Amino acid sequence: MKMGRKTTAFLLGVLIVLMLPACSATTEKRYEASFLELFDTASVIVGYAKSEDEFAKYSQKVYDELEVYNKLFDIYNDYDGINNIKTINDNAGIKAVKVDKKIIDLLSFSREMYEETDGKVNIAFGAVLSLWHDHRTAGLDDPEKATLPAYEELEARNQHIDIEHMVIDEEASTVYLQDPEMSLDVGAIAKGYAVEKVAQFIQKEGLKDGMVSVGGNVKTFGNKYDEKGKKVPWTVGIQNPDLSSDQKSLYNLGLSGYSLVTSGVYERYYTVDGKQYHHIIDPETLMPAEYFLSVSIICEDSGMADALSTAVFNIPYEEGSKMVEGLDGVETLWVFSDHTMKYSSGFEKWCNYDKEK
């Protein structure tokens, strides 16, 4: 199979999973490609194509497009010739930064999600999140010396999270942070948003039936095919937050044109004095949220699902339930600390596959 140099470096596998007839007279096969080093996680694309070479072209395009978003949305690294989110943060209180329209669109969408969630998802929360990130990184590097951020410092940084100080000039394509102490962190939205945009892009490129996943942010489009060549929804599992359990998925969902995003305590954490501290920080307490083990969101837009999974994770069940029940086409599964579960009123319609035993 022919692959470009970049794909060769990062492609872990392009596999024929199973040969199935397409809806037309031609025969297509199901392929899967996976790669690393984008968004600091694993990415997977699954789809149907007439040949390995055809699918390799699709997977290369997905990789290339994800790489663009990865560099633009990065808050930690600089790239030659690119103004990204880090560039905006580095110039807080100094000057407006001219950026790619993809960044303008992300930040505008993030502001919409801030309003939609009553501030429970705030990309201007970076000053607080960066302090937690530094302590978590140090704690993982040297577990015996792991520490928590001082609450006084968290409170001080929390004075610099006003999203109204993020000034977007769409005509000039610039972003300016008025507060020199503030910073943007798009981690609660960026992966899901990128997955949504890339899925839209690859469909326009000709891939009609597929699934894109970046770090568990899943977007489905079209259908998969059963052994008789019949169109059926894609099967997507909701991960069990108890990683030691033999039951890896809590539910298997049948999705077509919809997204699934889960936020959970098992994703990134470190340990201090025997207690685990995960990376999802409650904007009210400035500490890791303790309401749930995980929250899963189903809706059409992967960016919205990503934002909502964080927002709902950070609020009590009653408040979160009221939020999602007020949104059209959004369903939720909550997993509580005692491993009990609740779900929204329309969740069961997606569970047309047996729950794993």
Please state the residue numbers annotated as binding site.
188, 306, 310
Cross-strand partners of 47: 31, 210
Cross-strand partners of 276: 271
Question: What SS3 state is found at 212?
Answer: strand
CB atoms within 10 A of CB 228: 8
**For residues 330 and 350, what is the distance between their CA atoms, to the nearest angstrom?**
11
Task: List the alpha helices (DSSP H) in the chain.
Answer: 5-10, 52-73, 85-90, 101-116, 126-141, 151-157, 190-204, 302-313, 317-325
* Of residues 65, 69, 62, the one with CA closest to residue 106: 69
CB atoms within 10 A of CB 356: 14
Residues placed in the known binding site for Mg(2+): 188, 306, 310
Distances (CA, A) of 189 to 219, 263, 302, 321: 14, 11, 9, 20
**For residues 147 and 196, what is the distance between their CA atoms, to the nearest angstrom?**
37
**For residues 74 and 148, what is the distance between their CA atoms, to the nearest angstrom?**
25
Please answer whether residues 218 and 259 qualify as being in contact, where contact means their C-beta atoms are separated by less than 8 angstroms: yes
Q: Is 172 exposed, middle or buried (0-12, 13-18, 19+ CB in 10 A)?
A: exposed
**For residues 230 and 210, what is the distance between their CA atoms, to the nearest angstrom?**
15
**For residues 184 and 266, what is the distance between their CA atoms, to the nearest angstrom?**
24
Let me know the angle formed at the C-alpha of 112 by 311 and 120, rounded to the nearest 5 degrees: 20
